[in-house]
Amino acid sequence: MDSAVLLDLLGNENRRRILRLLARKPCYVTEISEYLGVSPKAVIDHLRKLDEAGLVESHTDDQRRKYFHISRNLRLEVSVSPYGFGAKSAYPASPSLDMNGRCRHVSLDTPDEADDDVRDLAAAFDRLQALENELSLAQRWVYGRITEVLERLDDHLGVDADSRFHAEVLAAVATGATTTDEVDEAVDAPSDAVRGALNTLADRGVITRRGDEWRVARS
């Protein structure tokens, strides 16, 4: 699902409260109405929008009562700082994702596959919760360090706007992208924007150009 659509959908407090309730157990409309303190008609409208977005679905029990429940796992990440705003697209949980060789900078001590023994499953759940908390803490640390590094780069670059993009271009050059085409590929941005950033960095004396190759200037 597109992250902008999901952000708009979750901008409504009652829809967030509905999802919080459904995360605990399936519920029928009257139940949700009493929990929210709003009319069943309003609840039905919220559920329709959540259903259209693919976040909830329903099933009917033996008494023909319609229950709603969350239909899938999704994660949405939003970042806001003086250096940018971004929302990563929602993505589903993937228990089959192979992490071997996927993380160059993080060592994941993941628990072994649990069998159907209740004790083993409970222990695996506890270890995964601990891993989730550690990853969240590491993410906060990384986000803080990125902001700190960008602030320090600002002192060197003196770029008036979009300093993060200039930092990405500079990082591409510093890590081995020497030609303009290689920098284009590394930052995955329009060529005109990359060329403009390279010229700005050169004007600031941060990088130099020799023929077709860019180099970080010596301090």
DSSP, residue by residue, 15-41: HHHHHHHHTTS-B-HHHHHHHHTS-HH
What is the pLDDT at residue 159?
A: 64
**Fold match flag (3-70 vs 159-216):** yes
Write out the H or E segment, with its range, that includes residue 148: helix 118-157
User: Who has greater pLDDT, 43 or 217?
Assistant: 43
Backbone angles phi, psi at 38, to 5 degrees: -125, 170
What is the pLDDT at residue 59?
A: 93
- CATH number for the 159-216 domain, one of 3.30.70.380, 1.10.510.10, 1.10.3720.10, 1.10.10.10? 1.10.10.10
Name the pLDDT band for 21 (thresholds 50, 70, 90): very high
Across 117-139, average pLDDT: 87
Across 56-60, average pLDDT: 95
The domain locations on the chain are: 3-70, 97-157, 159-216
Q: Is the pLDDT of residue 114 over 70?
A: no
Taking the model in full, what pTM does it have? 0.68
Tell me the sheet residues that pair with 134.
none
Name the pLDDT band for 44 (thresholds 50, 70, 90): very high
What is the pLDDT at residue 113?
A: 64
Backbone angles phi, psi at 93, to 5 degrees: -65, 145
For residue 23, give both structure tokens.
């995360």
Closest CA to 158 of 168, 146, 167: 167
Q: How far apart are the first and last CA of the chain?
A: 46
Q: Is the pLDDT of residue 100 over 80?
A: no
Q: Is the pLDDT of residue 95 over 80?
A: no
User: Per CATH, which fold does 3-70 belong to?
Assistant: Arc Repressor Mutant, subunit A (1.10.10)
* Burial (0-12, 13-18, 19+ Cβ within 10 Å), 110: exposed
Q: Is the pLDDT of residue 161 over 90?
A: no
Which of 24-33, 71-80, 88-97, 130-139: highest mean pLDDT? 24-33
Cβ atoms 166, 131 nearer than 8 A: no
Q: Which residues contact 165 (CB under 8 A, 6 or more apart)?
A: 187, 189, 193, 197
Q: Is the pLDDT of residue 107 over 90?
A: no
For residue 146, give both structure tokens.
């990125």
User: Who has greater pLDDT, 58 or 125?
Assistant: 58
What is the pLDDT at residue 33?
A: 97
- pLDDT tens, 142-157? 889 988 888 888 887 7
User: Who has greater pLDDT, 52 or 85?
Assistant: 52
For residue 145, give both structure tokens.
């360090």
User: Who has greater pLDDT, 177 or 155?
Assistant: 177
Name the pLDDT band for 78 (thresholds 50, 70, 90): confident
For residue 122, give both structure tokens.
């409970």
